[in-house]
Amino acid sequence: MSIKKPLGYGSLSLGLICLGILINLKFANELIVSNYLFNLIGLDIYSNVSDGFHYPFLAAIPFWAAAVWVSNKYYNDFGATLSNRLGEFLFTVSVIATILYFVPPMLWKFFKWILIVLNI
């Protein structure tokens, strides 16, 4: 005899994970939803004009954070455990990738400034 978990708000957290992934997928005709939304709002897509850090990548992070929050709150629902683990993984990878992109150049500029101040 198996006991099935009920569908509920925790199950909807799987949908939030899917939305976070779909917002950055490339569809037919080179359409990426997050790029379209950023252009519609008037924001830059890249940190440099045509290359660099892809800002719309950050647009998925709120979906993953919300999925983790909902799956933690309603952990007894179907799919909540999977959504929690997947959301935590995607959120962590996104934050680490963002930090690794932004922090080293800032540290390099800081060390160059120290070298200039110390006249080395």
pLDDT tens track of the chain, all 120 residues? 566 888 888 889 999 999 999 998 888 888 888 888 888 998 888 887 777 788 888 889 999 999 999 999 998 888 899 999 999 999 999 999 888 888 887 788 888 888 888 876
Q: List helix spans (H) across the chain.
A: 9-22, 33-41, 61-73, 80-117
Q: What is the value of pTM for the model shown?
A: 0.78
Q: In the prediction, which pLDDT does 111 show?
A: 82
CB-CB contact of 45 with 118 (8 Å):
no
Q: In the prediction, which pLDDT does 56 show?
A: 82
Name the β-bridge partners of 54: 46
Dihedral angle sign, alpha carbons of residues 100, 102, 105, 108: negative
